[in-house]
Amino acid sequence: MAKVPFLNLYDINEKVKDEILASISNVIESGWYILGEQVELFEKEFAKYCEAEHCIAVGNGLEALKLLLLAYDIGPGDEVIVPSNTFIATWIAVTHCGATPVPVEPDEKSYNLDTNKVRSSITSRTKAIIPVHLYGQPVDMEPLIELARENNLLVLEDAAQSQGAKYNGRRVGSLAHGGATSFYPGKNLGALGDGGAVITNDQAVANKVRNLRNYGSDEKYVHSEIGYNSRLDEIQAAILRVKLREIELWNERRRNIAKMYTVGLEELDIITPYVPHFATPVWHLYVVSTKHRDALQEFLLEKGISTSIHYPIPPHQQSCYKKDYAEIKLPLAERMSKAILSLPMSPTLSDEDVEYVIMSIKEFFHKLT
């Protein structure tokens, strides 16, 4: 194994292993495994954590996005504005609803949605905007929400990478009409399997998502919609309840690591993440940018340091979307994908690990000159 892994999930889960085992044992003994007490309690606790009125736990992050869009009646003929530089799930959720993802290039400093660029992409078919709090960095939501209000659009947050992040002191995900998140094992709040959730302050939307996730049913064997099967398991909910108690501590550790990186890499020919005044990020990823990206990644690998790229191919260049987006130019997303590098980031990294990464990057740049 690498000296410094990119992310070691074992180390994270090992810290709470005894509590997790006890919680799984309780679920086994309860004799109830789908939509029971654990999911209900987790939904209450996660809603409170997100400062949202409602949380509906579902099968994964993609389904959370999709059910949220469907609950707002987004479908064929509708356009939904998405970032050009996101994980492909944001786009796929829109496509699954029959609507069209309309990509907008990011702000060059923050890598997040830029309200001015969103403005010029609005058409008479636009129904919603999906800001993604990419890498755990909050999007500048106020101007975006204002723009949406002027144009009668929905703002649906993709908060899969940003559990716990704050925008002007308020948790992301519950800042607008609704949010979706993912509990994929590698997220800041990760299950030991798949999971996701919708959060919203709108009671009717919450009811609709609750109905859709369970075969379009509010009452056993009575079906008002042709719904889906997308439910969080009791066992995963029980595990997430244990890990939710740790997330603030873990996010704080991520912030300390990020600070070490930012200070340590200051004088090098490398662009470190920009943190706007409104942001309390949670550093799902620590992404630097350099024109020597590939050489740096290889050099670090030789030093026993694993890094990653989020993401090497933007959605519009993936073969599943390439044909439909052949006419569309997104040079920024393309340029970014060739220059970005995600450094090791995990709450279990030691100061020595982080210092070793910084030292190795310095060594790489000194050799260059």
Ligand X SMILES: *Cc1c(COP(=O)(O)O)cnc(C)c1O
Q: Which spans of this chain sit near ligand X (rule: CB under 6 A)? A: 60-62, 86-87, 89-90, 132, 158, 160-161, 182, 184, 194, 196
Shortest spacing between CB 187 and ligand X, in angstroms:
6
Shortest distance, position 219 Cβ to ligand X, whole Å:
28
Instruction: Name the strand (E) or helix (H) holding 79.
Output: strand 79-83
Nearer to ligand X, 49 or 135 (CB): 135
**Rounded Cα gap, residues 159 and 132, in angstroms:** 6
| CB closer to ligand X out of 61 and 353 | 61
Cβ neighbours for 140, distance < 8 A, ≥ 6 positions apart:
110, 112, 113, 115, 167, 276, 278
Angle at 64 between CA 58 and CA 67, to 5 degrees: 100
Q: How far is the CB of 161 from ligand X (least distance, A)?
A: 5
Residue placing its CB nearer to ligand X in the complex, 158 or 353: 158
- The alpha carbon of 52 is separated from its chain's Cα centroid by a whole number of angstroms, namely 17
Comparison of 89 and 349: residue with beta carbon closer to ligand X: 89
Alpha helix (H) residue ranges in the chain: 9-14, 17-30, 37-49, 61-71, 89-96, 115-119, 141-150, 203-213, 234-244, 247-264, 293-302, 319-322, 331-339, 351-368
Nearer to ligand X, 77 or 312 (CB): 312
> What's the Cα-to-Cα distance from 236 to each of 6, 60, 163, 231, rounded to whole Å?
24, 11, 17, 10
Region of 367 (left: φ > 0; alpha: ψ -120 to 50; beta: rest) is alpha
Identify how many contiguous H helices and E strands the chain contains and give both numbers: 14, 14
Q: Which is nearer to ligand X, 60 or 346 (CB)?
A: 60
Min dist CB 7 to ligand X, Å, is 13
Which CB, 148 or 197, lies closer to ligand X? 197
178 φ, ψ (degrees, to nearest 5): 180, 165
Q: Which is closer to ligand X, CB of 230 or CB of 360? A: 230
- Least Å from the CB of residue 196 to ligand X: 5
Residue closest to ligand X, measured at CB: 61
State the DSSP code for 192: S
CB of 124 to ligand X, least distance (A): 27
Q: Nearer Cβ to ligand X, position 105 or 194?
A: 194
CA distance 119 to 96: 25
Instruction: Output the smallest distance, CB 46 to ligand X, in A.
Output: 15
| 8 Å CB contact between 50 and 173 | yes
* C-beta separation of 157 from 172 below 8 A: yes
Residue 57 CB, shortest distance to ligand X, in Å, is 12
Q: How far is the CB of 316 from ligand X (least distance, A)?
A: 16
Please check whether residue 338 is in contact with residue 310, taking contact to mean a CB–CB distance below 8 angstroms.
Answer: no
User: Which of helix, strand or coil describes residue 29?
Assistant: helix
